[in-house]
Structure 1
Amino acid sequence: MDLKVILSTNLRRIRNDTGRTQEEMAHVLGISLRYLGSIERNKVSPSVTLLGKFAVVLGISACDLITPAKVSRGTP
């Protein structure tokens, strides 16, 4: 899977899991809501600096944002 797709998917999922809105994230990060939406829709890529800020705000490591989510396959 493309790294940009992994990032956008993980960012949206983790943001939702932590109960943060796009509006709140954009405000805390000092970016526009439109830009955040573009990142989450895989239209643009954030800078490495912004990637680090996402991680800090979400309380995770930057690696968590670019690591594919593990899919559980159930018991054989």
Structure 2
Amino acid sequence: MDTREIIGWNLRRLRVAKGISQERLALEAAIDRAYVGRVERGEENVTVATLEALANVLGERVAELFVEPAKDAKPTPPLRAGRKRKPTA
């Protein structure tokens, strides 16, 4: 796995763990949603400033995006599609 793929793997892992959509992450980091998708797929060379913005939204240190996954790690499943249901009273 190259560095771009490691960053993408961790970005998706952290984002899904926090229940944040790509759209929400992009909005709060002030970047394009399609760009977030390309970063998660390892298709972009991300700047340090962008990594910092993404990490800040996720409440993580930038270093967390560089942690190499275990050899037997399974890909993170996507978030459930659609809007979250409002709680009923």
Normalising to structure 1: TM-score of the pair? 0.85
CA distance in 2 between partners of 1:41 and 1:70 (Å)? 18
Q: Which has the larger radius of gyration?
A: 2
Using the alignment, how far apart are the partners of 1:69 and 1:49 within structure 2?
23
Query: How many residues in Structure 1 have an aligned counterpart in Structure 2?
Result: 72
Amino acid at match of 1:7: I
The alignment status of 1:26 with 2:53, answered yes or no, reads: no
Distance 1:50 1:59 in 2: 14
Q: CA RMSD in A?
A: 1.4
Q: Which runs of no fewer than 5 residues in structure 1 stay unpaired?
A: none
Match of 1:40?
40
Aligned 8 A contact 2:18 2:58 in 1: yes
| TM-score normalised by structure 2 residue count | 0.73
Q: Percent identity?
A: 33
Large movers: runs of 4+ above 4 Å: none
Deviations 1:20-74 (CA, angstroms, capped at 9, x unpaired): 00010011111111111111111112110010111111111111101113468xx
Larger helix share, 1 or 2: 1
